[in-house]
Amino acid sequence: MKKFILISFIFYVLTSGLFIGLYAQNPIIRNQFTADPTARVFNGKVYLFPSHDIPAPERFPRKDWFCMEDYHVFSSSNLTEWTDHGVIVSQYNVNWVDTNSFSMWAPDCVERNGKYYFYFPANVNAKYGKGFGIGVAVADKPEGPYVPQPEPIKGVRGIDPCVLIDEDGQAYLYYSLNRIFVAKLKENMLELDSEPVVIANLPAKGLIEGPFVFERNGIYYLTYPHVENKTERLEYAIADSPMGPFKVAGVIMDESPTGCWTNHHSIVEYNGQWYLFYHHNDYSPKFDKNRSARIDSLFFNADGTIRKVVPTLRGVGLTSARDRIEIDRYSQISDKGVSLAFIDTLNTFKGWKIRLGMQNAWVKYNSVDFGNKKLKSVNVRVFSLSGSVLQIKVDSADGLLLGEVKIPSGVEWTTVRSRIKNSPKGVHHLVVILKGDNPVEVDWVQFGD
Ligand code: FUB
């Protein structure tokens, strides 16, 4: 009977489109590309509305361009475990979209009076002219089902919608088309209530897309990607009211050090902490139109200005010591002797491995929750041609030694289990150090009883 229930549950999970991921690190979604991540807090949970890059199918001629045919929505209550609620809108179920265009670009979603309004750009079909329109799909729950409106919003040509509902209930639609526009929305959230106007005093060149607007302590933040040099970096301007006048205020994130041309973001407060959601081409380093969502913490200065966010692999949230701790998403590494590579370059979604190549090389992974119960063992997933020794410590390379793991020589990946002599309580940083003479590749570390 138990077996039957388990099999039924697995079948339900596989067929309901529900995917439950236990991931704390960047990128946050690890089984598909997720670009342009808009995060919103609804009913005490964070909902993520990204766009969905896919490798171009045969019939899409532009192999070097963005290719997106649908949207998924994901949710999380701790920013580490994400549930995929499946496809909510597809180019095939919106009758104004050109279904050859694969152009379901950056979306947004807001709630009003218990209804959820999902805004998305896409190329219109011949009946509606040319270029990008912005449509709305409406649902009773953030995870859908969403019903697309039969027509795109009248009077709007552009991409990357963002909607702000101000304290007085007035809603504003921001979007872009080489400049950033704003217009009032009617109470029905489906029609414009004013002519779109261009937001003035922003950079004259290199501002193409991606506005995201929010309010904090009476300051309205208009945040946007801008090409100051070679690729997009995230910048912001501030104002006393949703339509401005805005004044350029600074940089939120520098341009990608590895050349991902786009960056697209959203900023949200959740349980008293602010977060920057953004994207990077982690799983597709050779093609920057296949991107993945990331999260890092964001902080304000006392005067309301935003501190620059330095992107991390570690991301946010606690990782349980009993989960597989992917130390390749490290917080810090020693100056020498550590390198990172994909486990399988033909399937990058299998993730990364870290190579400790020199005695005393170390890798640190922040914020591991060891709980209150004594742990007795550690498992490490490793590969070492000549065999070696790893030390497992907490907090620093000079910190408390939990145990040593003898790594056997071998030509295949293996999981080595070893007793630990110390088990810390609470949250600590995990440090793995190479003590033997020979290199070791590590996939993950996991503690247990
Ligand atoms: O994802 C397609 C486009 O690339 C988005 O709409 C832009 O913001 C940029 O990220």
- What confidence category does residue 18 fall into, taking pLDDT thresholds of 50, 70 and 90? very low
Domains and CATH numbers, the chain: 12-298 (2.115.10.20), 319-448 (2.60.120.260)
Tens of pLDDT, residues 391-405: 999 999 999 999 999
CA distance 67 to 123: 12
Strands 319-320 and 362-369: parallel
Where do runs of H (alpha helix) occur along 235-349? Answer: none
Q: Which of 82, 89, 96 is nearest to 118 (CA)?
A: 89
CA 304 – CA 310 distance, rounded (Å): 18
List, for residues 139-157, the tens digit of each pLDDT value: 999 999 999 999 999 999 9
Residue of 52, 66, 255 with the most ligand 1 atoms within 8 Å of its CB, for mutation = 66
Beta carbon of 120 within 6 Å of any ligand 1 atom: no
Q: How far is the CA of 210 from the centre of ligand 1 (A)?
A: 7
Task: Collect all residues with Cβ–Cβ distance below 8 Å to 417 and sequence separation of at least 6.
Answer: 377, 378, 379
**Interval between CA 223 and ligand 1 midpoint (Å):** 14
What is the model's pLDDT at position 23? 53
Q: Is the CB of 209 under 6 A from ligand 1?
A: yes
Backbone dihedral region for residue 387 (phi beyond 0: left; psi -120 to 50: alpha; all else: beta)? left
E-assigned strand segments in 217-301: 219-227, 232-239, 247-253, 266-270, 273-280, 292-298
Residue 189: name the closest of 247, 304, 110, 266 by CA: 110
Can you give the length of the chain in residues? 449
pTM for the predicted model, two decimal places:
0.94
Q: Quote the CA–CA distance of 320 and 134 in Å, as a whole number.
A: 42
Residue 358 has phi, psi (to 5 degrees) of -150, 140
Give the separation between CA 40 and CA 49, rounded to whole angstroms. Answer: 8
Instruction: Provide the annotated active-site residues.
Output: 36, 209
> Which carries the bigger pLDDT value, residue 6 or residue 381?
381
Whether residue 24 has pLDDT greater than 70: no
C-alpha of residue 263 to centroid of ligand 1, in Å: 8
Torsion of CA 135, 133, 64, 315, to 10 degrees: -40
Does ligand 1 lie within 6 Å of residue 105's CB atom? yes
Tell me the mean pLDDT in the region 87-104. 98
Token reading at 261:
């041309």
